[in-house]
């Protein structure tokens, strides 16, 4: 195991992903972690991440300096390197100017982290401060034009420092440098595979749950489906899943999901149709946050009523992923302000006194997909684009009515069909339609029309934290627009959303 200390860099999750891509398990911990906890975790190496602070700021994040006495290899990246330099008696100078962007790295010796890398290679810099004087026992291993001490090592102690970011794609040999650290320096092995993860997770669930019962809210998304499969493999029929159809799913989604879930997951699933309840509660509501709160509350009521029928349930399972955990624990840099309240399907009904199990809580989304594959889950479920808990309600701007819901469902179905046909479905993080609350004038068959406007949204993203609008071919956009205007009654104009996140968000509400 490799331990990453989170000093608040926006790239922290990326470091963890790179390490895991090398099939080495790693976890991210906040800097205030107790040194005894680090000792008991017994990491093979520690990575000190970058961060937005300056080491001399009063409240800059610090980890217990006793980590340098553990005899464990340490790699400091950017702020992490500066922390190490300062802690071990060197000095860091405050610079007036930030260095940001590409730089050419000149490597002195092709050994250690630089084994197998050309003497000149590109690296990505993003720092204000830099190292002025190295602590005793350290030497310079690489420089750039602006940064003399761009990389350093204390060979005896196996302490490494990189002023640049090896984890980002803009440092083309960064992955190799991390591999050198993991395998050559720390002696890690390629043991973290989804097969081994599944085996351990199943054993752990068995051990925790024993002969008790587990309830799981199934949404049809990859996270809850993989959670279900994993728990089912561990405890079989003692798992009951509840699927609440809120009527806000995409066209035919409820029926299709029911079919695939039943067909491929031989699991106890209770399907609850509750469209009426949701639409009633949403009537005359147009405020996005109110909509989300109402949907969350109705979901809870329906879910809880059903869950209560399951006697002797002791556990509630959730498909929580690692980024949620990191964001809620991060001492520096997160958690970000609530921009939209998210309702994760299957939240904990407080008065039910159920214990939580979250078997995916150390995985990233792409790992969950790999795990799904290792468990034999249908491709169709594995590769579903994410779909928000509040469903189409947050894609109908303004009031959600049955009529508007059906306009959006029809249009959205065309978007999905064409996107799938074009081969773009898997390349996009999400692609969908949004119904706007304004009308525009059009002309159809010599007649003036005054109808709804529909927006298309398609984005690429790795983790939904940031996203770019997809540069879809004009032909494809044209085809979707034509089909919607011709086939969906009530729409006479289609527009394409060309905003990225930030500053926009993926969903419109």
List 340, 439, 462, 479, residue binding ligand XMP (CB under 6 A): 340
CB atoms within 10 A of CB 352: 13
Between residues 70 and 464, which has the closer beta carbon with respect to ligand XMP?
464
Size of the site for ligand XMP (CB under 6 A): 15
Structure tokens at 441: 């004038």
Between residues 247 and 388, which has the closer beta carbon with respect to ligand XMP?
388
List 233, 343, 361, 462, residue binding ligand XMP (CB under 6 A): 343
Between residues 41 and 465, which has the closer beta carbon with respect to ligand XMP?
465
Between residues 117 and 434, which has the closer beta carbon with respect to ligand XMP?
434
Return the beta strands (E) in 366-446 as ranges.
430-444
Contact flag: residue 507 with ligand XMP (CB under 6 A): yes
Q: Which of 22, 78, 123, 241 is catalytic?
A: 78
- Is 186 designated active site? no
Q: Least Å distance between CB 467 and ligand XMP?
A: 7
Contact flag: residue 390 with ligand XMP (CB under 6 A): yes
**Nearest CA among 112, 99, 107, 114 for reference residue 147:** 99
Contact flag: residue 161 with ligand XMP (CB under 6 A): no
Helix (H) or strand (E) holding 316: strand 313-317
List 137, 187, 386, 437, residue binding ligand XMP (CB under 6 A): 386
Residues 6+ apart with CB under 8 A from 442: 448, 449, 450, 451, 492, 493
Residues 6+ apart with CB under 8 A from 441: 448, 449, 450, 492
Q: Which string of x and - marks every residue 286-305 that binds ligand XMP (by CB under 6 A)? A: ------x-------------
Contact flag: residue 196 with ligand XMP (CB under 6 A): no
Q: Which string of x and - marks every residue 32-71 that binds ligand XMP (by CB under 6 A)? A: ----------------------------------------
Buried residues in 364-401 as b, exposed as e (16+ CB within 10 A): bbebbbbbbebbebbeebbebbebbbbbbbbbbbeebe
List 54, 208, 256, 344, residue binding ligand XMP (CB under 6 A): 344
Q: Least Å distance between CB 470 and ligand XMP?
A: 14
Angle formed by the axes of helices 365-374 and 194-209, to 10°? Answer: 80
Three-class secondary structure of residue 365 per DSSP: helix
Contact flag: residue 462 with ligand XMP (CB under 6 A): no
Helix (H) or strand (E) holding 492: strand 491-496
Structure tokens at 400: 């959600």
Contact flag: residue 103 with ligand XMP (CB under 6 A): no
List 389, 408, 418, 484, residue binding ligand XMP (CB under 6 A): 389
- Is 78 designated active site? yes
- Is 343 designated active site? no
Contact segment (CB under 6 A) with ligand XMP among 103-111, 153-161, 388-396, 442-450 equals 388-396
Contact flag: residue 464 with ligand XMP (CB under 6 A): yes
Between residues 19 and 458, which has the closer beta carbon with respect to ligand XMP?
458
Residues 6+ apart with CB under 8 A from 50: 7, 9, 11, 12, 77, 78, 79, 80, 126, 127, 165
Angle formed by the axes of helices 12-21 and 322-329, to 10°? Answer: 140
Q: Which of 167, 179, 306, 418 is catalytic?
A: 167
Q: Which of 22, 99, 123, 165 is catalytic?
A: 165
Provide the pairing of β-strand 99-107 with 120-127: antiparallel
**Nearest CA among 56, 57, 9, 1 for reference residue 31:** 9
Residues 6+ apart with CB under 8 A from 388: 342, 394, 507
Catalytically active residues, by annotation: 78, 165, 167
**Residues found near ligand XMP in the complex (CB under 6 A):** 292, 340, 342-344, 386, 388-390, 430, 464, 501, 505-507
């Amino acid at each position: 195991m490799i331990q990453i200390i989170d000093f608040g860099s926006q790239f922290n999750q990326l470091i963890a992903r790179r390490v895991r891509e090398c099939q080495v398990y790693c976890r991210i911990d906040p800097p205030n972690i107790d040194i005894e906890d680090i000792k008991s975790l017994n990491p093979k190496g520690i990575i000190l991440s970058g961060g937005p602070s300056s080491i001399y700021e009063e409240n800059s994040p610090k980890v217990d300096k006793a980590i340098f006495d553990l005899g464990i290899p340490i790699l400091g990246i950017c702020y992490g390197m500066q922390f190490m330099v300062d802690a071990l008696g060197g000095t860091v100078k405050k610079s007036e100017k930030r260095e940001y962007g590409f730089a050419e790295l000149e490597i002195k010796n092709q050994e250690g982290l630089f084994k197998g890398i050309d003497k000149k290679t590109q690296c990505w810099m993003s720092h204000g401060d830099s190292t002025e004087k190295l602590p005793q026992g350290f030497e310079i291993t690489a420089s750039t034009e602006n940064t003399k001490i761009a990389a350093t090592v204390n060979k005896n102690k196996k302490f490494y420092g990189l002023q640049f970011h090896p984890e980002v794609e803009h440092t083309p040999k960064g992955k190799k440098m991390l591999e050198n650290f993991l395998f050559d320096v720390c002696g890690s092995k390629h043991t973290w595979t989804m097969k081994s993860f599944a085996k351990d997770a199943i054993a752990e669930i068995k051990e925790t749950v024993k002969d008790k019962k587990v309830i799981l809210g199934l949404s049809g998304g990859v996270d809850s489906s993989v959670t279900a499969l994993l728990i089912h493999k561990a405890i079989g029929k003692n798992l009951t899943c509840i699927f609440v159809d809120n009527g806000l799913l995409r066209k035919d989604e409820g029926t299709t999901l029911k079919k695939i879930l039943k067909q491929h997951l031989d699991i106890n699933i209770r399907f609850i149709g509750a469209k009426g309840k949701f639409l009633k509660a949403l009537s005359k509501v147009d405020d996005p946050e109110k909509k989300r709160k109402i949907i969350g509350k109705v979901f809870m009521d329906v879910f809880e009523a059903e869950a209560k029928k399951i006697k002797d349930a002791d556990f509630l399972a959730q498909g929580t992923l690692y980024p949620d955990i990191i964001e809620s624990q991060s001492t520096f840099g997160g958690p970000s302000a609530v921009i939209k309240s998210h309702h994760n399907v299957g939240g904990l009904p407080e008065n039910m006194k159920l214990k939580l199990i979250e078997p995916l809580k150390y995985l990233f989304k792409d790992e969950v997909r790999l795990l799904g594959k290792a468990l034999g889950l249908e491709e169709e479920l594995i590769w579903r684009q994410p779909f928000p808990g509040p469903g189409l309600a947050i894609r109908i701007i303004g009031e959600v009515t049955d009529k508007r819901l059906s306009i959006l469902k029809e249009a959205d179905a065309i978007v999905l069909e064409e996107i799938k046909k074009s081969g773009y479905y898997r390349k996009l993080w999400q692609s969908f339609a949004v119904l706007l609350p304004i009308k525009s004038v059009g002309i159809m068959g010599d007649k003036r029309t005054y109808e709804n406007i529909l927006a298309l949204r398609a984005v690429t993203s790795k983790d939904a934290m940031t996203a770019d609008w997809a540069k879809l071919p004009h032909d494809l956009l044209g085809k979707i627009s034509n089909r919607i205007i011709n086939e969906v009654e009530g729409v006479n104009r289609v527009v394409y959303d060309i905003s990225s996140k930030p500053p926009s968000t993926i969903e419109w509400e």
